[in-house]
Chains A and B, each alone.
Chain A
Amino acid sequence: MSTIPASPASQSDAASARRRSVILVSGCTVLNAIAQILFKMGAHNLVLTPMGLLTNVPLIAGCAFYGLFTIAMVIALREAELSVMYPIIALSYVWVTLLTYWLLKETPNLYKNLGIVTIVIGVAVLGRGGKK
Chain B
Amino acid sequence: MSALLIRSIVLVFLAGILGSFGAVFLKLGALRLNHSVLSFVNSRLIVGVALYLGSTVIYLSGLKGGPLSVLYPMVSLGYIWTLLWSKLFFKEAMTPYKFAGMALIVVGVFLVGLGSAQ
Contact = CB atoms under 8 A, between A and B. Distances in A.
Q: Report, as a range, how many residues of chain B touch the other chain.
A: 35 or more
A116 B73 CA distance: 7
Interface of A: 36-37, 39-40, 42-44, 46, 48, 59, 90, 93, 96-97, 100-101, 104, 106-132
B69 to A, nearest CB: 4
* Majority-rule SS of B interface residues: helix
B101 A122 contact: yes
Given A115-B112, A122-B103, A126-B102, A44 B64 contact: yes
Given A101-B69, A111-B118, A122-B105, 19 more contacts: A40-B68, A43-B62, A90-B76, A100-B68, A107-B118, A110-B115, A111-B112, A112-B111, A113-B115, A114-B115, A115-B111, A117-B108, A122-B79, A122-B103, A122-B104, A125-B97, A126-B79, A126-B83, A126-B105
B111 A100 contact: no
B6 interface: no
5 contacts: A43-B60, A44-B64, A46-B64, A121-B108, A129-B98
Interface string B46-85: 0000000000010011111001111011001001000100
B110 to A, nearest CB: 7
Nearest to B112: A115
Nearest to A119: B108
A interface, by DSSP: helix, strand, loop or mixed? helix
Contact of B69 (A106, A119, A121): A106
Nearest to B118: A109
B19 to A, nearest CB: 13
Contacts of B114: 111, 115
